Structure 1
């Protein structure tokens, strides 16, 4: 649904609404999941190319794996290559030799040369929620800026990575996008609808409607969208090209009797899907069938008590997945510091635990794996941790507090509250 002159043409959404008033409560009325919604038979999207050396999405890929092949990641002996000042930047992404960062106060997107840090272009963004940090995405020569809206005007937009020129815009009022780059699709969650858009043109390819509120998602093997449908414990898998359901499963038996739900993010490994619940369970599903393979711990953790009152329970949040290991953040609602665990993805058994030296108030926000190294920004420091043993290999001090880490073209990009620092391996 591209839009270049909204004052002279009806959008597809408006046309559908007009048709709906003509045909009454037929095909365009309410319907349950599984009913198609005027699929576009002519839609034939081309894949958006990326390279293993890129970091095109906030969590590296559609599977949220945050794992880079060893040959494309720095190893040890890092030194600063360049740095730039950006107030409270979001997660940097990198493609086509450029770094893209969204900032707030004011809202903007800025492009830097990946290898020098030289600014290439900057574009302001008008948002309906000022101060909300956006998460740009990229593929091919396109930069996707997903945004929410309440009035149906232009919302999400796609720019050229080279100069920020506009390629197309969308009036879908949703900033929740599952990028299926291998299929050339951007799949928007506009509950109760799931809408697949050709990422190169903005044309709608298919639409499905659900009875539940759609929540977090991940992409498995570049072709399957796996989604959490809300608090009832249903997880579904859809064919990215058509929206057809492949399987669904119910994991509510692992929910706490009181409020529980699936936490963001869902992570797709090679053979399994991983996610945590708000009441402290970590669950692995078979990616092909949706069957539960393991759950840890065996029982729900007790609510922690501090200062005479109960706090939020312990949570296990998967953040990195590789063929051999799953990296998980453990936290709770007290001031106890977070810890990092590595877990055998086939069994759920812990291998090692990394605990900050400070017992209180240390929060782990991000991590990435490249080869045999965990890249771990932590408060005002940045650690390289051995993936096999959990031992710290080296530590670098940071200006500001660490927010996130990205790996691209042999560089390590650390975002702090004060800007972006690029590290490289010393030659």
Structure 2
């Protein structure tokens, strides 16, 4: 590529942003893993990490082409064969381009990987790993790739073009999409043994807070990187990501203090995620003051919404619905209220004299995502249930899904049992296996 044609600053920013978004998937693994019980922490993290492998391969083969290939009609889907294996892009990237297409391919790959990983938090403790792999692969192909085409293909996707809805970094394609899929999956999967009668507390809140911190760090690439350039829009999105997230922490903690009398570390970590989710679609549409309003309301709304599962009876293990679906819906609709034409998207919402024009467009985009995702996810989950089966056996769930599905445990406690000290020889494998304490939850 000729040196004078390449914009090195923009290319470096997109590649760095792609790396930041990649870090969000291990961040999710820590965030969810810390909330799991100790006997299922590895399985939870494996469900997240598996998307790096499975979705990454699908994206290279045909996922990018389905999302950004030539439209097959109506702005609904790209041609899966146009960029199959990315071979056709290699020649294009030798031409004079300011930003190599492969940089954009890599950046968008991380969005696909992360979206699938987000769903895993609703299925903790009870889903077969093989069933998860089949479900997540089918879901990426049949749900994520088409909806990403609607939203992220700014020249062909029907939500971005015909409808004219705004979604800078994925409130619909990522968060509403993953949240709705989580709701459908956990309903079809069924409740965990003992839920909600038994307390199923997070086993490691320090891990949860570390995961939330990594998510916030990576989210700057998620939002600011979606500008596609190292420009004013990127700086604008970066600043709004700070504002909304900071406000969401306070919104969540205030609700906790009012309702329960305590402000918790889990609430602070969850508030971070709620704020990040809500500002994702709106980070280039609203002012920093609007971002503060969106964030504080996202924290408050999600803090209330996580309790819906107890009233409605669905076992969303780590509140993917209460955080991603609710905050994603709020952030998407909030554009219709708080958008201002001084922002990079140059659109006014209801509060800035734009009337309801942008609001109804946002509502249609959110509704279309909910309906399509809900129906197709249900079909996928029922197919997997009828073939592989979704759940592990009751005995495996009781003993711990880590051992049943992966023949591993997250923590080794054998040296702490028996009272003979660290210098004592290990017990024979047969004796250790027969010890009831080895099966107890820690």
Which TM bucket (shorter chain)?
under 0.3
Q: Which has the higher helix share?
A: 2
Whose relative contact order is higher, 1 or 2, with alpha carbons under 8 Å and at least 6 apart?
2
- TM-score, normalised to structure 1, is 0.24
